[in-house]
Amino acid sequence: MKLICDGLDLSDAVLKVSKALSVKSVNPVLEGIKISAFGDTLTLLATDSELTIEKKIRADVLMEGEVVVVGKYFVEFVKKLEKEQVELCKLDDGPLQLKYSNSESELQVFNVEDFPKINKDFNGEFFELTQKEFKKLVNEVSFACSLDNARPMLKGCLFNVEEGILTCVALDGFRMSVVKKEITSSGNFKVIIPARTLQEITRLLDKDEDIVKVILQNNMLFIEVENTTLISRLIEGEFVKYNHILPQSFTNQVIVNKQVLLNSIERASIVAKNDSYNIIKFDIKEDFMNIIAKSEIGNVNESVNINLNGKDLTIAFNGKYLLDFLKVIDAEFIKLHLNSPIDPCVIKPVGNEGFLYLLLPVRING
């Protein structure tokens, strides 16, 4: 293999695919980036066997071929190249040679035959939305995914498409985020996409108005953005029946300014987080709500104006779970829907009926 390409193009491409590099894999070749030169194209590909990212750039290919280079060092090296022409060359059993300016360096390679074959021929169900909508969706839902390896199903988000409506759900046993929106799709289907895959897809999106087409086939997800392809395994199995968790009616509704509530809970958390449950108590009265936290370091008692429809109520939550939600929503006011101190609370941004957040309260005495 022998080719000449632009150093900046190469650096950008290597950085993109490196997100799929395996770290300390039992199979060391997965720590490699596969470089292929055919026609007038240089293709870089990394995979950790769950997630695969491939990026194509233009190159002058003098001799076609393939090589797998140690990803970590190649990334570092290419990042430090100045923006000049780089020649990549691999002859017989030798290392990968990099030539630039008057200099020449070599990096060790893996055996190309050991690198897994990736199927890139996808043609199944799909859904489409703009990059901006996709990023907003992931932002509003994925934070509620579990990080617990013991329940792999909850490390992903459910994407359920039915009659042109996408319902996206993430939950971790303490709280749940649900977004509904109209989309274009090939039909009805249900898949669970790993939260990490969703995060990596959003990193590739930098043209808000462009359309993202997500293709799903045989438990794999496939997406192409400009010259970058991302392929990911889906999570197999049946997702939690999230509809069963949602209360059907509420006795109390509270409307409150989001930013005021967020600031107040942040202050209360400083005191509350000294306690492992980060418990913050909400004493809801007719025109205001007291936000109360107490621990050995001190106590916070703040008064926030509200609009209450219902009766007085005292309820407590883990402050972190409230902050997670308040930080991702884009609304001036939010509405809390409550029943009792032990029933789940549902929060919706006012003016955005497609988004709901369910949160279990923490039981407190008195």
Please report whether residue 224 would count as binding a second copy according to CB under 8 A: no
The vertex-202 CA angle with 198 and 205, nearest 5°, equals 145
Residue 182: DSSP 8-state: E
Tell me how long the chain is.
366
Whether residue 127 contacts residue 93, with contact meaning beta carbons closer than 8 Å, is answered with no
Task: From 363, 366, 174, select the one nearest 279 (Cα to Cα).
Answer: 363
Q: Which is nearer to a second copy, 12 or 133 (CB)?
A: 12
Q: Does residue 38 touch a second copy according to CB under 8 A?
A: no
Q: Does 70 bind a second copy (CB under 8 A)?
A: yes
Region from 16-24, 167-175, 205-213, 299-307 binding a second copy, contact rule CB under 8 A:
299-307
264 contacts a second copy (rule: CB under 8 A): yes
With CB under 8 A as the rule, give the number of residues binding a second copy: 32
Minimum separation from the CB atom of position 14 to a second copy (A) = 13
Q: Alpha-carbon Rg of the chain, whole angstroms?
A: 25
CA atoms within 13 A of residue 303's CA, in its CB half-sphere: 4
Nearest CB to a second copy, comparing residues 1 and 204: 1
Q: Does 266 bind a second copy (CB under 8 A)?
A: yes
Q: Which H/E stretch holds residue 294?
A: strand 288-295
Q: Which of 62, 63, 297, 350 binds a second copy (CB under 8 A)?
A: 297
Cα distances (Å, whole numbers) of residue 250 to 134, 343, 347: 31, 10, 11
Asked if 111 touches a second copy (CB under 8 A), the answer is no
Question: Taking CB under 8 A as the rule, does residue 303 contact a second copy?
Answer: yes
Stretch 277-296 residues interacting with a second copy (CB under 8 A): 288, 296
Contact between residue 193 and residue 134 where contact means Cβ atoms under 8 Å apart: no
Residue 301 binds a second copy (CB under 8 A): yes
Q: Closer to a second copy by CB, 73 or 340: give it.
A: 73
The least distance separating a second copy from the CB of residue 67, rounded to whole angstroms, comes to 13
**DSSP result, 129-179:** EEHHHHHHHHHHHGGGS---TT-GGGGEEEEEEETTEEEEEEE-SSEEEEE
Shortest approach of a second copy to residue 77 CB, angstroms? 5
Least distance from a second copy to the Cβ atom of residue 106, Å? 5
Footprint of a second copy on 78-107 (CB under 8 A): 80-82, 95-96, 101-107
* DSSP codes, 225-289: ETTEEEEEEPBPSPPP-GGGGS-S--SEEEEEEHHHHHHHHHHHHHHHTTSTT-EEEEEE-SSEE
Looking at 49, 108, 184, 340, which residue binds a second copy (CB under 8 A)? 108
Residue from 25, 27, 40, 73 in contact with a second copy (CB under 8 A)? 73
288 vs 333, beta carbon nearer a second copy = 288
Per CB under 8 A, does 77 bind a second copy? yes
CB 363 within 8 A of CB 341: yes
Nearer to a second copy, 240 or 260 (CB): 260
Query: Can you give the binding site for a second copy, defined by CB under 8 A?
Result: 70, 73, 76-77, 80-82, 95-96, 101-108, 263-264, 266-267, 270-271, 288, 296-303
